[in-house]
Structure 1
Amino acid sequence: MKLLTTCILTLLFGTLFITSNRLHAETYKMASGDWAPFTHSSERKSQLFEHLVSAAFALENVTVSYEYFPWKRCLYNVEHGQFHATFPWFKTTAREEIFNFTATPLYVDNTVFFHLAETPFDWTVIEDLKKYQVGVTTGFERVDSYKALGIPAQEVPEEYLNFEKLLAGRIDVYETSEAVGYAILNDRFSDEDAARFTHHPKAREKSEYYMMFSKSAQNAQSAMADFERGIQKLQASGRYDEIVNQFLGR
């Protein structure tokens, strides 16, 4: 009996030790950049995705930390195992060779074409963009996809610069998230200038933004599994929609 009691206590304390270690040791490191209203290094009102990610991991009793970099540096840091994951990213075949993607998107949004209301713009198929001066942002998936389609595009390092180029008449059209585009206009332009912009009513696509996990970082597989369970719980509970409404008013 004494031996049995000793074994039970040993198993109990061992389990508590493992659980305690997990709760305190697992702080997953996230790399992201500035892309209001979804993610931002300093503006809390523009950290929708950070709140979703933190809430999902919290449901699995895991904490996360965030550091911010240019987007290309985010890719490098995660690929080389310095961070567990980065967000938000489109899923592509090329990226799937380097990173692991969750099954559930972090967020789904409309991707649209922005232009000045005074600039005639219409499109039926994506190749119609060849008739226009198009802008792209360094590190974004569209840099490669436009090249593959033979669509010439002017590249800039920061997304808001495309809107400045639209306003100056140096490009005709720029493709991005509807929510992000209007956040940039509201934050960086006067009401008078912002009112000159519009977007084409036909969305290019429903864009799925994903968490992208390292294949080399320690415990990255566990991090991805924790997130997948957490985000599904968050959505099922209704809390996911509450957080989105809090930031986007939808």
Structure 2
Amino acid sequence: MLLSRFAISAGFCFLTLFSLHSLPAKAGQVIAVGAEFAHIFERNVDGDYVGLGVDLIRSLAKQNGDTVSFEIYPWRRAQWMVENGHAHILIGPYKTAERETKFVFAQKPFFQDIMAFYVRQGSPPVIWDGSYASLHGSKVAVINGWVYGPQFEAVRSSLNVEVANSLENGLNMLVAKRVDYLATNLRNSDALLNKMGLASKVVTLQPFIDRQDGYLAYCKQACDMLRSRYDESYEQLRVSNALQELAHKFEVRLP
């Protein structure tokens, strides 16, 4: 009797774990996670999830008869959840070779970011002509878990880098003169600067660091069918001009 109860209990645990890490080939419950990204994935004053990524996934889910739930986490936590099968979709990552070992990326990106350096307004003349040699001796803040494009990543280890735990932290470090440069993207930074009341205190430098495409990334364990269905539905949205309308609504640059 004891063995029988143990077998039943073990079987129940297996089924529970299986349900957490699997998604039916057809309609099902989809869990999408990410960090708070301005205009892509955020919550409004009423606590509702809004942004291009939210509307896009809702459209894809509706076309496929799925229901979808959203959760915002710190960026590394959100990545961990999808990598380990606790969520199905990661909203907005840039594609890198390392990340492709952890996630299955959508066939096409759904937005594009411009990566740039920010400096303090009124700081000493800055020499930035696109050559990273010009940053020698300067402190450069980067955001924990972010990537900035192949050229930047190739020289990152040679720079005097300070890691900020969040973009807000990075902006405060810059304004407080703890760093000389902040590497970030225009979309997130401009929105947060306005929110923090710091827009007049910083300047964006050109040339830009790079352009990065943002994707939906899927869990590797059980999301192949989900990704395939959503890739097909995404293409329909793109061809029908619905994606362009959503991007215009949220003031997001398309690839």
TM-score (norm 1): 0.80
Alignment of 1:63 with 2:67, yes or no, is yes
Q: 5 Å matches for 1:125-144? A: 125-142=131-148
The aligned counterpart of 1:9 is none
1:234 aligns to what SS in structure 2?
helix
User: Which one has the bigger helix percentage?
Assistant: 1
Tell me how far apart the structure 2 counterparts of residues 22 and 94 of structure 1 sit (CA, whole Å): 27
| 2:200 aligns with one of 187, 195, 199 | 195
Q: 5 Å matches for 1:65-214? A: 65-119=69-123, 120-121=125-126, 122-142=128-148, 145=153, 148-189=156-197, 193-214=198-219
Q: Percent identity?
A: 20
Corresponding letter in the other structure for 1:129 = L
Instruction: Please state how far the C-alpha of 1:82 moved relative to its aligned partner.
Output: 0.9
| 2:56 aligns with one of 45, 52, 59 | 52
Tell me how far apart the structure 1 counterparts of residues 252 and 144 of structure 2 sit (CA, whole Å): 29
Corresponding letter in the other structure for 1:196 = K
Tell me how far apart the structure 1 counterparts of residues 80 and 180 of structure 2 sit (CA, whole Å): 32
Tell me how far apart the structure 1 counterparts of residues 54 and 137 of structure 2 sit (CA, whole Å): 38
Report how many aligned residue pairs link the two structures: 224
Alignment of 1:36 with 2:41, yes or no, is no
Tell me how far apart the structure 2 counterparts of residues 51 and 27 of structure 1 sit (CA, whole Å): 16
Comparing 68-77 with 112-121, which one deviates more in the overlay? 112-121
Q: Could you report, residue by residue, the CA deviation over 1:1-26 in whole angstroms, capped at 9, with x for unpaired residues?
A: xxxxxxxxxxxxxxxxxxxx977x41
Q: Which runs of 5+ in 1 are unaligned?
A: 1-20
Tell me how far apart the structure 2 counterparts of residues 166 and 53 of structure 1 sit (CA, whole Å): 35
Q: Which runs of 5+ in 2 are unaligned?
A: 1-23
Structure 1 45/131 Cα, relative in aligned 2: closer, same or farther at 3 Å? farther
Q: Could you report, residue by residue, the CA deviation over 1:192-247 in whole angstroms, capped at 9, with x for unpaired residues?
A: x321222113222121011111111x3x1111112211221111111112111112
2:85 aligns to what SS in structure 1?
coil
Instruction: Please state how far the C-alpha of 1:146 moved relative to its aligned partner.
Output: 6.8
Comparing 129-138 with 35-44, which one deviates more in the overlay? 35-44
Taking only aligned residues, the RMSD between alpha carbons, in angstroms, comes to: 2.5
